[in-house]
Structure 1
Amino acid sequence: MNRLGLGLAALGRPAYINVGRSELPPSRSVDAMRDASWAVLDAAYEAGVRWVDVARSYGLAEEFLAGWLASRSPDDVTVSSKWGYAYVGDWRLDAAVHEEKSHTLDRFRTQWGESSALLGSHLALYQVHSLTPDSPLFDDPALQDALAALPVRVGFSTSGPGQADVVRRALALERHGVRVFTAVQSTWNILEPSVGPALAEAHEAGAHVLVKEGMANGRLAVEPPEPVAALARSLGVGPDAVALAAVLAQPWAETVLSGAAGTQQLASNLVAAGIGEVDLPSLAEPAAVYWKHRSALAWA
């Protein structure tokens, strides 16, 4: 379990693009979502999971996690969070816009203050949320200096068909002879493995590699390709576990995140830790096709 982590993107706000979230509370009120988050956090901790990933834009995920940490007082939980997006969905399922992106020095300063106040000494990794080739960060030395001066590890997450280029470009950034970033969180799954070689290079260079969306936002659990479904049947596990086992089989994947929306999903996901190598044919989609599909997923 030391390589599996829990991401709270699906539990910190009422709407998200993951499919298969039927285990969420029907009302999706703040109190109900807090209770659901705590239940999943309790189950994950009991199972041996010790890494939790949140973000300022995950609704109240940081607040939910901070409350859980204060209540349970664990001394061995590592927390990673992200800045750059702000949640603007007003706790509505039908919000026209759920999050707003800005990679500026002002946004960083504001959100670092918010994250560090909530998460305290548990916060071990702070990441730029969804770094893309057009991010102004690449041309902002003041922002780079501010990031490099943080008292915690600094990383970035990636999205989109250009992930590999962003990984290589960002990990090459230096300020005053010191690398700005020493961690990366990217989307890798059996439908979209294009960033794999860049993540292998990052791992070899000493960066901590986290993998998100190992189940393709739930697609591999709800509508698995037949080879995945067949292997799952033969092993007596869910297709979600097969999908996550495929991620765990990558030697460069140090922390693999489950985005479970409930304790039953979490239990099914964690079975992946005991599967070992999986034998699947190539199921990769062209990166542009995969990301076009992802961008069309509805917030629900």
Structure 2
Amino acid sequence: MPFARLANATTPTCHIGLGLAAVGRPGYINLGRDEDLGESRSVDALRDRTHELLDAAYAQGVRYFDVARSYGRSEEFLADWLNARPDIDDVVIGSKWGYTYTAGWTADAETHEVKDHGLATYERQRAETDALLGDRLDLYQIHSVTPDSPALTDKDLHARLAEAAAQGLTVGFSTSGPAQADAIRAALAVTVDGEPLFRTVQSTYNVLETSAAPALAEAHDAGLTVIVKEGMANGRLAEPYAPDALKAVAAQAELGTDAVALALVLRQPWAGVVLSGAATVVQLASNLHAPVVDLDEDQLARLAALTEEPGAYWERRGQLPWH
């Protein structure tokens, strides 16, 4: 598996990856994005911002980069960056299929993305991803699997994914929604010719939403690499939006609330890669302090008290406006 390269890395940030959801398109749901990006959101402006982030991340030891077909032009921006740096051969690239970007490079579209986990969508988007990333793609994930997703039962799709895996591509899935644990367990049961199909899982886990933890531990024990997304809860755990308890712990650590929030995720024994969704180089630098945060039992208890009921968490997330 390509993730062995991360496990063998010697940099202190080897378990932090960079996701490009927030900078691959002009509109996204992260809080504070208006201040982060300002009004300059042309294709060229966001390409330059993405490349600046990738340069900073790579220089500081980050080796996993995460994109998706629905993240606007994130695959294109990443491909441009890689093509301009042919000597870089130690990064791991993951993308996702299953959502189609439909916003037309605007932040106020009525619909920003359309979900479809059918075989035809996989075939189309796989070709689109291959045209941009080619053999630089290491991991291809089904985007936001839920318990009712046809991707869990479509045998023809499973056969095509197994074929891709046999050709060297790592096949995984991501999850969203209040029933993440159910989706993870259902995906763990998917086999082709008696062998597990999926080798990675990418799920939401953070101070506020911890419900997937037991299932992620099971996935880790089954040999899957666990990637954690939305560790900052779409900005709800960043200044100035963070809960007071998190701000108090951050003050004790003399670091940002983001570093503390990501540190909580990094300490989970099943967490293989934790994504930063930074939109600025300053945010990225602050995120990368997370590995040095040492949380004591009292601080952990105060953070644990912030956990929300999954239904309430995902309802609020669904109400976040696109900025």
Same fold (TM over 0.5): yes
The CA deviation at 1:120 is 2.1
For 1:169 and 1:156, the matched residues in 2 are separated by: 11
The CA deviation at 1:25 is 4.7
Task: Specify the code of the residue in structure 1 equivalent to 2:58.
Answer: Y
Match of 2:242 in 1: 224
The CA deviation at 1:95 is 0.6
Match of 1:6 in 2: 18
Match of 1:33 in 2: 46
Once the two structures are superposed, residues 223-254 of structure 1 have per-residue CA deviations (whole angstroms, 9 ceiling, x without a partner) of: 11112101111111110110000000101000
The CA deviation at 1:117 is 2.2
1:161 aligns with 2:178: yes
Structure 2 length-normalised TM: 0.91
1:196 aligns with 2:210: no
The CA deviation at 1:119 is 1.2
Structure 1 segments of 4 or more deviating over 4 A?
A: none
The CA deviation at 1:136 is 1.3
1:249 aligns with 2:261: no
Match of 2:59 in 1: 46
For 1:66 and 1:186, the matched residues in 2 are separated by: 24
Q: What is the SS of the residue equivalent to 1:146? A: helix
Once the two structures are superposed, residues 66-100 of structure 1 have per-residue CA deviations (whole angstroms, 9 ceiling, x without a partner) of: 00001122111100000000100000111110001
The CA deviation at 1:20 is 1.9
For 2:90 and 2:38, the matched residues in 1 are separated by: 29
1:1-300 map, 5 Å? 1-21=13-33, 22-73=35-86, 74-150=88-164, 151=167, 152-222=169-239, 223-277=241-295, 279-280=299-300, 281=302, 282=304, 283-300=306-323
8 A contact 1:89–1:95 mirrored in 2:
yes
Over the matched positions of the two proteins, sequence identity in percent amounts to 56
8 A contact 1:163–1:195 mirrored in 2:
yes
8 A contact 1:56–1:81 mirrored in 2:
yes
Task: Specify the code of the residue in structure 2 equivalent to 1:231.
Answer: V
Task: Specify the code of the residue in structure 1 equivalent to 2:250.
Answer: A
Once the two structures are superposed, residues 51-70 of structure 1 have per-residue CA deviations (whole angstroms, 9 ceiling, x without a partner) of: 00000000000000000001
8 A contact 1:104–1:143 mirrored in 2:
yes
Structure 2: state its 5+ residue gaps: 1-12
Once the two structures are superposed, residues 119-170 of structure 1 have per-residue CA deviations (whole angstroms, 9 ceiling, x without a partner) of: 1222111000000112112231001111111131100000000000100110
For 2:312 and 2:191, the matched residues in 1 are separated by: 33
Q: What is the SS of the residue equivalent to 1:217? A: helix
For 1:244 and 1:92, the matched residues in 2 are separated by: 30
The CA deviation at 1:172 is 1.0
For 1:254 and 1:71, the matched residues in 2 are separated by: 28
For 1:122 and 1:253, the matched residues in 2 are separated by: 24
For 1:238 and 1:26, the matched residues in 2 are separated by: 26
8 A contact 1:132–1:159 mirrored in 2:
yes
For 1:138 and 1:184, the matched residues in 2 are separated by: 14
8 A contact 1:171–1:182 mirrored in 2:
no
Task: Specify the code of the residue in structure 2 equivalent to 1:76.
Answer: D
Task: Specify the code of the residue in structure 2 equivalent to 1:206.
Answer: G
Does 58-67 or 173-182 show the bigger shift? 173-182
For 2:254 and 2:152, the matched residues in 1 are separated by: 47
Task: Specify the code of the residue in structure 2 equivalent to 1:157.
Answer: S
